[in-house]
Each structure stands twice: as structure tokens, then as C-alpha cells.
Amino acid sequence: MNPDEHWRLWRADPRATPFQSPAWLDHWWTYLGGVERHDAELRDDGGRLVGALPLFVWNDGGVRRLVPVGAGHSDYCDALLAPGADMDRLWAAILAHADRRDELLLPDLRADSPLLTPPPTGWTAEDEQMETCPVLALPRQGPLLPALGKTQRRKVVHDRHRAARLGGVEERLARPDEIGEALEALFALHTARWAGAGEAGVLADPKVRAFHRAAAPALSEAGLLRLSLVRHEGRIVAVLYGFADRSRWHSYINGIDMTVPGQSFGTLAFATLIEAATAHGAREFHFLRGEEPYKYAWGAAPRRTFRRIVRRA
């Protein structure tokens, strides 16, 4: 898919998230993709790209599945569709590729996804709820703290007071020139935490690290990257790797130093990112997949994604 056309379509689709952007998908394909890719495209009468879903073939134990590019590492998968474009015609483009496979697997679809509309005659769809992705509604006016529940508001204030007593603690969003340093700190902190549980963690994979080293600067250049940093005496002790689009900010993955007694650097990293989202007029903060208790402590409400399997009737 032509990157310039892909970006124009991404900007035209009000539902698009950073997970559907070329900055994310193209680098995912380079470092984590397979060998057989098929881009389903819909064009209007003037040849303008108005719908798209990049796909690849996944051979899973002898089952040939057609799957969206980015699946597995994208908390939200979806097609791009310009306002007014015909979803039935995009379905036809998608299923032209799926017709030669065993099934079309569409994971991590939000409830309003156009890919959850009925497929054409001759195809069946099987849907099931998949992941829980808690979402925090942000205040329309004013700062974040007064809008939080009493317990979480007190926790943020308390943790910042403890950091002030420790001294030398700084919390803020990363500058573009800090992306490389922040990613390396994220890899180290995240891997160390999982190693303590006897597991490797997703960021231990060299291919995954290479993907993020390429994707993060591209997302930053497009204005979609948000990295929240907490430093103690200049050393990074918490990194929250997140994204922003038109009305939503997202927290994707974090790395936190848990070895400093009496400190909760993770609270500071999240507070920094969520406060920035509020200040920039975002309507929602998406904690993405997983039901960790801290997400609900912030006041988030659960939302479910769906997995759809489409087959020939």
C-alpha cells in the first residue's frame, strides 16, 4: 500500500487509532510480519483510496488463516474506511483474498468496527468477546485530579509527596531526542520485572525491540507518540509508552523500577500521561487490554473487544 495514500486514508477515518497507521503497521510488517501479504483496498470512481485492510497469511498448524497486519501486538485491529465509503465493497475486496484461505480471522475489534457488520451472502461470521480494554472518560473542562475518585486522588497526591521527600524526582513527557534512551530504559525495566517472576516478557524478544525502535520515532514524527518519563537523579525509573490520536490517548506498555522503597513511580508516570491527555482536550484515556486493578482504581470502565472468524457458508 502506498504510504502517502495510507496516511491520507488514516487521517480521513475518524475511528482510526495509531495501531492502523503506517508508522505502526509498516514497521510491524518489516520486523514481525510473514512472507505473504495482501492489502485489501477500496477506491472511489476517481481512484482515491477510501478503504483498506492490510492482511497476511498465517499458517497455524495446517490452517491457512488470513489475519490483519499487526495482529498480536495491536490492541485494536481494524479496517480504515473514509466517511461515506461503501463497506460492502470493502468486504468484497477483503473476501477476494480470503476465498483462497481456510478462514478470515479478525481479532481485537472494537464494538463499533465496520468489520463487525454482516458479511456478504455466502459467508458466515462467528463472533466472540475477546479482551477487556478499560477506558477512562476524561473531564471536558478543568484539570484531572478533581475529577478522580477520592481514593485515587489521594493516592496521586500521596505518591507525589513521597517522591518530593525522596528528592531529585522529575516527571514529564519525553522529548523527541529522548526516545531512544526511553525505549532502552523501557526494555530493561520491563524485562527485569518479568524476570523476577521467572518469565521473559514480550519485550525480551530482539525482533519486538527492533520493531519498537523503528516504530516509535515514526509515530513521534506523525505526532502520535506519547512517552511519559519519571527520572530520579537523572536516571529513568519509569517509562509509560503510549499513543494519541484525535480524541483518545492510549497507554500501551510500561517499565517501572520497583526497587526504591516507599516509592510508586508507576503512579507518577500514569498521572503525567493522563493529565497531559486531559490538558490537550482528549475525551478518553484507553488503558488497552488487561484488567489490572490499577486501571479501575483510576476510574476506568470495562470495554470488550471482539474476535470474528469469517468462513465460506
Q: How far is CA 144 from CA 151, 161, 210, 227, 247, in A?
A: 14, 17, 35, 18, 16
Q: Which is more confidently placed, 60 or 268?
A: 268
What average pLDDT does the structure give for the chain? 96
Domain residue spans of the chain: 3-131+305-312, 135-286
pLDDT score, position 61: 86
C-beta atoms surrounding 205 within 10 Å: 13
Among 243, 23, 249, CA closest to 138: 249
| pLDDT-derived band at 238, boundaries 50, 70, 90 | very high
C-beta atoms surrounding 218 within 10 Å: 16
Q: What is the mean pLDDT of residues 62-84?
A: 96
pLDDT score, position 196: 83
Q: How far apart are CA 169 and CA 265, in angstroms?
A: 9
pLDDT score, position 35: 84
Residue 57, Cβ density class (10 Å: 0-12 exposed, 13-18 middle, ≥19 buried) = middle
pLDDT score, position 293: 96
pLDDT score, position 284: 98
Q: Which CATH superfamily is domain 3-131+305-312 in?
A: Gcn5-related N-acetyltransferase (GNAT) (3.40.630.30)
Which pTM does this prediction carry? 0.95
- For 125, phi then psi, to 5°, come to -125, 135
Quick one: CA torsion of 199, 201, 207, 208, rounded to 10 degrees? 170
The label of the residue with cell 480521513 reads 12
The CATH architecture assigned to 135-286 reads 3-Layer(aba) Sandwich (3.40)
CA angle, 209 then 291 then 302, to 5°: 120
pLDDT score, position 34: 86
Q: How far apart are CA 42 and CA 199, in angstroms?
A: 43
Q: What percent of the chain has pLDDT over 70?
A: 100
What residues are paired with 136 via a beta bridge? 285
CB 275 within 8 A of CB 267: no
Q: What percent of the chain has pLDDT over 90?
A: 92
Evaluate if residue 288 carries a pLDDT over 90. Answer: yes
Alpha helices in 147-178 (DSSP H): 150-166
Q: Tell me: the pLDDT tens digits for 110-136? A: 999 999 999 999 999 999 999 999 999
Evaluate if residue 200 carries a pLDDT over 90. Answer: no
What b/e sequence results for 181-197 when a residue is b if at least 16 CB atoms lie within 10 Å of its CB, and e otherwise? ebbebbbebbbebbeee
Which residues does 3 contact at the CB level (< 8 Å), separation at least 6?
Answer: 22, 26
Q: How far is CA 233 from CA 128, 151, 168, 230, in A?
A: 48, 29, 5, 10
What residues are paired with 240 via a beta bridge? 228, 254
Which triple of cell numbers denotes residue 169?
524526582
Q: Tell me: the pLDDT tens digits for 16-63? A: 999 999 999 999 999 999 889 999 999 999 999 999 999 999 998 888
Quick one: CA torsion of 189, 194, 199, 202, rounded to 10 degrees? -60
